[in-house]
Amino acid sequence: MEKILLLAATDTDGKLGKPALEAAGAARELAGALGGAKLVAGLFGAKVPSADALAGTGFEKALAVENSSLSQARYATDAAACEALVKASGATLVVAPAVSRLQRVAAGVAQRLGGRVDTHLTALSAEGGAPLVTRWYYRQRMSGQVKRAQRPWFLTVEPGTHAATAGSGPLAVEKIQVSLPESKTKVTGEKSPSSGTQTIRPDAEILFVAGAGWCKKQGDGQLHVAEAEKLILGFLDKTQSSLGGSKSVVDQTGEGAVLSFMSHLNQVGQTGSTPRHAKGLSTCCHGEEPHTVGWRFVGERRAVNLNANCGWAQGKADVLYVADAFKVMEKVNELLGG
Ligand SMILES: Cc1cc2nc3c(=O)[nH]c(=O)nc-3n(C[C@H](O)[C@H](O)[C@H](O)COP(=O)(O)OP(=O)(O)OC[C@H]3O[C@@H](n4cnc5c(N)ncnc54)[C@H](O)[C@@H]3O)c2cc1C
């Protein structure tokens, strides 16, 4: 009989974030598909005051490593904590959110324990009583399913693919003592990307994509980049949407008229990211095939483009507004208030 461990780090407030609760949902689904495998949580962080968010959702108990050194994500200390949790649980399957902190240590801990790891999974199921996991390959173009005999098997689950568990009530937490390695690294502060504006928000409802059209000469023969920046930042501020960019617009960075807050981290598409948002609004962007790859997991797609024959019009957007994005976004911001 398989035993499943949900492995997750707590946030600075000691709570579990959305990706961890989604991974808990995936672990529950897997336990159900395996005919009721045992479910245990393994939590680590500077504070693990409770595991109540998982109570009443099928988890028997929670194991916890609580240590001030775990306030920062650091390979040596995180890996030691994870190793201890997996050992103490005796788990054969380890489910973790595919967030940078867990992704960084999953392979190393699997190696220490003689296990295997598969990452960025989008579905956990079972076939013939054995776990069967799904992930996408080749820039999200093909999906494949994997079975493995080796245990422990580490499975990191892509955020946004599963419903988060919503437990309440008490769940027993068993603290585990681990001597964490000494670290010479001290975190003295944080620096955000060039503009100082946090624009990439994986949890946002809406993905707003800006294309190169924002930095092109408009109908009056002039550039309106300062106005473009104001409109885009105004919309992001009011809606807390996540900002994406086409390859053309991010490649302009550092050359002439550019959006100062746009970086290569914002790029969406075949050679960029493939984010998951409920809705997407693309502006001043042609919407060619490589970009559409990046929109694969965006639910409702809308675009604003002057060209009625742009890529979005070729069946790639649910709604295409053939209009001037400067005027549309000005009106949208006005309607949003302020
Ligand atoms: C191997 C490879 C990988 C690639 N990977 C990616 C990738 O990951 N992501 C990606 O995005 N691209 C990628 N590309 C590039 C892609 O093919 C396109 O060249 C790029 O997406 C075009 O960007 P764009 O639509 O912003 O710019 P443009 O093609 O220049 O389009 C600008 C658009 O703005 C519109 N516009 C201008 N002014 C306004 C206005 N006032 N209101 C409304 N609309 C306006 C124009 O009508 C035009 O459609 C890749 C290409 C290759 C070959």
Q: Which of 51-60, 137-146, 192-201, 282-291 has the lowest mean pLDDT?
A: 192-201
State if residue 216 touches ligand 1 by the CB under 6 angstroms criterion: yes
Q: Whose CA is nearest to atom 45 of ligand 1?
A: 284
Best of 285, 310, 330 to mutate for ligand 1, by most ligand atoms within 8 A of CB?
A: 285
Ligand 1 center–CA 211 separation, angstroms: 6
* Domain annotation for the chain: domains and CATH numbers: 3-175 (3.40.50.620), 206-336 (3.40.50.1220)
pLDDT interval class at 184 (50, 70, 90): confident
Q: Would you state the pLDDT for residue 77?
A: 96
Q: What is the mean pLDDT of the chain?
A: 93
Q: What is the pLDDT of residues 26-37, one digit of tens each?
A: 999 999 999 999
Q: Following DSSP, what letter does each residue of 98-165 receive, concatenated?
A: -SHHHHHHHHHHHHHTT-EEEEEEEEEEEETTEEEEEEEETTTTEEEEE----SSEEEEE-TTSSPPP
Residue 338, pLDDT > 70, answer: no
Tokens of residue 195, six digits: 């503009």
Q: What is the pLDDT of residues 299-333, one digit of tens each?
A: 999 999 999 999 999 888 999 999 999 999 999 99
State if residue 310 touches ligand 1 by the CB under 6 angstroms criterion: yes
- Whether 14 and 35 have beta carbons less than 8 Å apart is answered as no
State if residue 271 touches ligand 1 by the CB under 6 angstroms criterion: yes
Q: What is the mean pLDDT of residues 119-126?
A: 97
Q: What is the mean pLDDT of residues 162-188?
A: 91
pLDDT interval class at 139 (50, 70, 90): confident
Closest CA to 202 of 139, 278, 282, 275: 275
Percent of the chain with pLDDT over 70: 97
Ligand 1 center–CA 246 separation, angstroms: 6
Residue 66, pLDDT > 60, answer: yes
Residue 335, phi-psi category: left (phi > 0), alpha (psi -120 to 50), beta (remainder): alpha
Ligand 1 center–CA 289 separation, angstroms: 10
Ligand 1 center–CA 305 separation, angstroms: 11
More confident site: 56 or 254: 56
Q: What is the pLDDT of residues 185-244, one digit of tens each?
A: 888 887 765 555 678 998 899 999 999 999 999 999 999 999 999 999 999 999 999 999
Query: What is the distance between the alpha carbons of residues 127 and 292, in angstroms, rounded to a whole number?
Result: 33
When mean pLDDT is compared over 20-24, 272-276, 288-292, the highest value belongs to 20-24
Ligand 1 center–CA 287 separation, angstroms: 6
Ligand 1 center–CA 226 separation, angstroms: 20
More confident site: 9 or 137: 9
State if residue 275 touches ligand 1 by the CB under 6 angstroms criterion: no
